[in-house]
């Protein structure tokens, strides 16, 4: 068994298939996605989740849009229809930049093919979109490998590591971002001991990370989010490894709700805090974390979703932000596929794109 066996986004006989992550860890089931509406719904409901995996799925989404648009009479109409579907997909979730990045990239390729007269009719567009979506998937696999190697260079065999949410295979089209060096280290006999925060309210740590790491043979211990402090204080954590959904130009990084608290704790206990960020997740157009839109989700996720009976009084006010921003000052280093960036981050991040 290889951890790549459960890469959650794949094409099978020309149809997009997603590992339905709402069913894990109880059921491993791939669902077929044949329309833009079905993909919007899968992204919104977190059947596919994790910034890079959402991006890869959205790239294929433009292919689905192009197939539908190829029935249009003219290239102009087809392009307009693809753009409409692209905007619709982007509106499914606002924080992870990979969604917009991937949609814009594939539509940009289709657009260029039309302007450059490589596409003679709407029927030519699906193949162009599919090739670019495939390129995004392959680049994501390679980026994960780059982060695995760069991240491993920061770690020693036998270390205790703590992670939040799921930034693994299940969140990408490869080894993961923050979990990539853990999987690679496992293959090389590093013997890491990993603490996985359960990650309230949607339990990505409990349902996904502990499942994924156990499947990969890693020594993993599940803890509730509010146990991170005692585990750190008792000396069991040598480094914190987390992913990112959007990194601003100054190094502030949005990630799953609760990440910023973990970073603040790590600073207090003198533990290095590494954020794993593929370049597809860096958004230099966003100046700082305060410019990142934070998704708010249904309060039922807090009050009812995991319980046999509702656990909060009817009518109580609730607030359910899906992400928070870790200020750059709490991040020890940013690990990308192109190298490790140390503070001050602004110039180092910009240089990755030069
Ligand atoms: O709401 P989710 O499950 O999509 O949130 C995922 C995260 O916050 C991950 O940590 C992030 O996308 C980085 S994944 C490589």
pLDDT tens digits along 279-313: 999 999 999 999 999 999 999 999 999 999 999 99
Q: In this structure, what DSSP letter does residue 204 have? A: I
In this prediction, residue 73 carries a pLDDT of 81
pLDDT tens digits along 49-58: 999 999 999 9
Domains by residue range for the chain, with CATH: 3-144 (1.20.120.420), 147-351 (3.40.50.10470)
Query: What six digits make up the tokens of 10?
Result: 């794949």
Residue 1: pLDDT above 90?
A: no
Q: What is the mean pLDDT of residues 15-32?
A: 98
Check if 245 is active-site: yes
Question: Looking at ligand 1, which atom is closest to the CA of residue 172?
Answer: 15
Q: What is the mean pLDDT of residues 327-340?
A: 98
Distance 65 CA to ligand 1 centre (A): 25
- Residue 228: band (very low, low, confident or very high) from pLDDT cuts 50, 70, 90: very high
Question: Looking at ligand 1, which atom is closest to the CA of residue 278?
Answer: 15
pLDDT tens digits along 103-147: 999 999 999 999 999 998 999 999 999 999 999 999 999 999 999
Distance 77 CA to ligand 1 centre (A): 35
Contacts with 95 (C-beta within 8 Å, 6 or more apart), sequence order: 245, 246, 254, 292, 293, 294, 295, 322, 323
Residue 223: pLDDT above 90?
A: yes
Question: Looking at ligand 1, which atom is closest to the CA of residue 49?
Answer: 4
The answer to whether the beta carbons of residues 195 and 160 sit under 8 Å apart is yes
Ligand 1 residue neighbourhood (C-beta within 6 Å) = 46, 49-52, 96, 165, 167, 171-172, 177, 204, 243-245, 255-256, 322
- Residue 258: band (very low, low, confident or very high) from pLDDT cuts 50, 70, 90: very high
* Nearest alpha carbon to residue 69 among 136, 17, 134, 121: 121
In this prediction, residue 148 carries a pLDDT of 98
The answer to whether the beta carbons of residues 332 and 273 sit under 8 Å apart is yes
Q: Give the side-chain half-sphere CA count within 13 A for 263.
A: 25
Residue 72: pLDDT above 90?
A: no
Question: Looking at ligand 1, which atom is closest to the CA of residue 295?
Answer: 1
The DSSP annotation for 60-100 comes to HHHHHHHHHHTTSSSHHHHHHHHHHHHHHHHTT-SS-HHHH
Distance 254 CA to ligand 1 centre (A): 9
The answer to whether the beta carbons of residues 110 and 85 sit under 8 Å apart is no
Instruction: Indicate the burial class of 149 (C-beta count within 10 angstroms; 0-12, 13-18, 19 or more).
Output: middle
Tokens 């920061």: give the residue: 154
Least confident of 70-74, 111-115, 128-132, 342-346: 70-74
In this prediction, residue 231 carries a pLDDT of 98
Phi, psi at 18, each rounded to 5°: -125, 140
The DSSP annotation for 252-296 comes to -EEEETTHHHHHHHHHHTT--EEEE--GGGEETTS-SGGGSPPPB
Tokens 């502990």: give the residue: 210
Q: What is the mean pLDDT of residues 165-181?
A: 98
Tokens 């990112």: give the residue: 244
Looking at every residue in the chain, the average pLDDT score rounds to 97
Query: What six digits make up the tokens of 55?
Result: 């991006």
Residue 339: pLDDT above 90?
A: yes
Annotated catalytic residue, options 245, 252, 283, 324: 245
The answer to whether the beta carbons of residues 235 and 272 sit under 8 Å apart is no
The strand pair at 339-341 and 253-256 is best described as: unpaired
Residue 18: pLDDT above 90?
A: yes
> Which residue from 44, 148, 166 has its CB within 8 A of the most atoms of ligand 1, so it is best to mutate?
166
The answer to whether the beta carbons of residues 237 and 229 sit under 8 Å apart is no
The DSSP annotation for 103-139 comes to HHHHHHHHHHHHHTT---SGGGHHHHHHHHHHHHHHH
Query: Within 10 Å of residue 178's Cβ, how many Cβ atoms?
Result: 28
Q: What is the mean pLDDT of residues 5-26?
A: 97
First to last CA, the chain: 39
Distance 204 CA to ligand 1 centre (A): 9
* Nearest alpha carbon to residue 114 among 72, 153, 144, 147: 72
Contacts with 321 (C-beta within 8 Å, 6 or more apart), sequence order: 257, 294, 295, 296, 297
Residue 87: pLDDT above 90?
A: yes
Q: Give the side-chain half-sphere CA count within 13 A for 226.
A: 1
> Which residue from 172, 244, 283 has its CB within 8 A of the most atoms of ligand 1, so it is best to mutate?
244
Based on its alpha-carbon atoms, the radius of gyration of the chain, rounded to whole angstroms, reads: 20
Distance 96 CA to ligand 1 centre (A): 8
* Nearest alpha carbon to residue 10 among 60, 75, 80: 60
């Amino acid at each position: 068994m290889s951890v790549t066996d459960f890469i959650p986004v794949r094409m099978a006989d020309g149809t997009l298939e997603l590992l339905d992550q709402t069913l894990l860890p109880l059921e491993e089931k791939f669902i077929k996605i044949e329309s833009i509406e079905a993909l919007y719904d899968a992204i919104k409901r977190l059947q596919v989740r994790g910034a890079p995996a959402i991006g890869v799925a959205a790239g294929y989404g433009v292919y689905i849009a192009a197939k539908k648009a190829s029935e249009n009479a003219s290239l102009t109409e087809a392009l307009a229809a693809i753009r409409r579907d692209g905007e619709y997909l982007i509106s499914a979730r606002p924080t992870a930049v990979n969604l917009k990045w991937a949609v814009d990239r594939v539509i940009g390729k289709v657009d260029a093919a039309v302007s450059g007269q490589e596409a003679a009719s709407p029927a030519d567009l699906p193949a162009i979109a599919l090739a670019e979506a495939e390129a995004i998937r392959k680049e994501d696999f390679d980026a994960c490998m780059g982060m695995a190697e760069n991240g491993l260079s920061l770690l020693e065999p036998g270390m205790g590591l703590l992670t939040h949410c799921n930034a693994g295979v299940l969140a990408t089209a490869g080894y993961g971002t923050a979990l990539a060096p853990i999987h690679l280290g496992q293959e090389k006999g590093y013997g890491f001991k990993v603490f996985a925060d359960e990650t309230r309210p949607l339990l990505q740590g409990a349902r996904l990370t502990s499942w994924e790491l156990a499947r990969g043979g890693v020594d993993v211990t599940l803890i509730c989010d509010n146990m991170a402090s005692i585990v750190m204080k008792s000396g069991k954590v040598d480094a914190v490894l987390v992913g990112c959904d959007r990194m601003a130009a100054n190094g502030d990084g949005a990630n799953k709700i609760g990440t910023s608290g973990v970073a603040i704790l790590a600073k207090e206990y003198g533990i290095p805090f590494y954020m794993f960020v593929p370049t597809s997740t860096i958004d230099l157009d966003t100046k700082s974390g305060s410019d990142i839109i934070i998704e708010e989700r249904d309060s039922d996720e807090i009050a009812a979703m995991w319980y046999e009976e509702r656990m909060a009084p009817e009518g109580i006010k609730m607030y359910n932000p899906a992400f928070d921003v870790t200020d750059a000052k709490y991040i020890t280093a940013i690990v990308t596929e192109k190298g490790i960036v140390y503070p001050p981050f602004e110039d180092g991040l910009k240089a990755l794109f030069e």
